[in-house]
Amino acid sequence: MIDNVIHAALIMTTPVLLAALGGLINRVGGIVNIGLDSMMLAGALVAVIVAANHGNWALAVLAAGLAGACVAFLMTLTITRLDANEIIVGLGFNILIAGLVRFFLKSAYGTSGTLSLPDTTRIPRIDIPFVADIPVLGAIFSGHDVLTWLAWALVPVTAWFLARTRPGLRLRAAGAAPKAARALGLDPLSIRDASSVFAGFMAGLAGAYLSIGVVGIFNEGITAGRGFIAMAAFYFGANRPGLTAIGALLFGFFDAFQIRLQGRGLPAELVQTLPYIMVVVILTAIAIATRKSRGARP
């Protein structure tokens, strides 16, 4: 029972964590990426199509990342070069990609909403021989796929990148003080574009994880607002990768918990709202705590 919840929690965390790390990099670079959800959706669709046609999951994951990066590139160009409002453009991309995906499914495959192709290759799970038999450790370390490992490995790597490397510091400069960065001879707009493309790539990977990692089919509602949950995660983390991961993990835990709670007498629709309600509750609690600690100081 507890093993199942832990395992499911880690599975639910992975897509949110991947997208949140991308969004964090993007936010440090100066753009709040509302369009993460649309990039996840594009990645999920491309992953299923490539996995079914070529039978190579690595290629499918890569293609999904590239699809997300393409969407992000278009979005970032409108923001940095055409001076558009990032919030409105992000919302616009969410609606546009959702419409395009539905249009594409109907015109190319003749289905409405769900795409299930015959031999879709799934991302293989890595079972570690001896650890798998240990009760709790087995659930934590064994039976996850490459993307989960990648996501957790990227948490310290992102922290190190932002704190210790030259490109990381330049990225922070471009986000915090674009004029100072410009005076140093950097091009803040291009740095922002690069960070957005990275965010799109990560969101595409998250989408691939959802479609060919977890279920093996595509549905137009497959992201279920996880792009927005990822935003909540990196706001929760205040640009720190470790805290962002904890935020993603909290959402993953409640998501796994609500699956367990279903079918125990409570109405399923109400139980499904639990992770989203918890996000609101936690963000509110943090805001109150911050205000109190700020009020305590003179």
Q: Out of 28, 46, 97, 147, which residue is the one contacting other proteins (CB under 8 A)?
A: 97
- Binding of residue 93 to other proteins (CB under 8 A): yes
Among 99, 124, 156, 242, the residue binding other proteins under the rule CB under 8 A is 99
Q: Where are the alpha helices (DSSP H) in the chain?
A: 2-28, 36-54, 57-80, 86-104, 135-141, 146-164, 166-176, 178-183, 188-208, 226-236, 241-261, 268-272, 274-296
- Least spacing, CB of residue 38 vs other proteins, in Å: 9
Piece of the chain touching other proteins by CB under 8 A; list 16-24, 122-130, 177-185, 236-244: 177-185
What are the φ/ψ torsions at residue 215 (nearest 5 degrees)?
-115, -30
DSSP 8-state class, residue 124: P
Per CB under 8 A, 94 contacts other proteins: yes
Identify which of residues 84 and 169 has a Cβ nearer to other proteins in the complex.
84
- Residue placing its CB nearer to other proteins in the complex, 26 or 94: 94
- Residue 102: CB minimum distance to other proteins, A: 4
Find out whether 170 and 161 touch, Cβ atoms under 8 Å: no
Identify the CA nearest to 8 among candidates 208, 148, 218. Answer: 148
Pick the binder of other proteins from 4, 55, 58, 85 (CB under 8 A).
85
Q: Does 103 bind other proteins (CB under 8 A)?
A: yes
Q: Is 157 in the site for other proteins (CB under 8 A)?
A: no
- Binding segment for other proteins (CB under 8 A), chosen from 59-67, 87-95, 162-170, 248-256, is 87-95
177 binds other proteins (CB under 8 A): no
Distance CA 108, CA 100 (A): 12
Per rule CB under 8 A, is residue 78 in the interface with other proteins? yes
**Shorter beta-carbon distance to other proteins: residue 99 or 242:** 99
Q: At 118, is the secondary structure helix, strand, or coil?
A: coil
Q: Assess contact for 28 and 239: CB atoms under 8 A.
A: yes
CA nearest neighbour of 5 among 273, 249, 211? 249
Cα–Cα distances (Å) from 119 to 62, 67, 86, 217, 249, in that order, read 19, 21, 39, 10, 32
By CB under 8 A, what part of segment 242-261 binds other proteins?
none
166 is a site residue for other proteins (CB under 8 A): no
- Establish if 122 lies at the interface with other proteins (CB under 8 A): no
Applying CB under 8 A, among 182, 186, 216, 283 the residue interacting with other proteins is 182
User: Is 88 a residue that touches other proteins (CB under 8 A)?
Assistant: yes
Q: Is 178 in the site for other proteins (CB under 8 A)?
A: yes
Alpha carbon separation from 70 to 75, 90, 225 (Å, rounded): 9, 14, 20
**Residue 83 binds other proteins, judged by CB under 8 A:** yes
Going by C-alpha positions, the residue among 216, 236, 251 that lies closest to residue 49 is 216
Residue (of 63, 8, 32) closest to 227 by Cα position: 32
Q: Which residues bind other proteins (CB under 8 A)?
A: 78, 81-85, 88-89, 91-100, 102-103, 106-107, 178-179, 182, 189
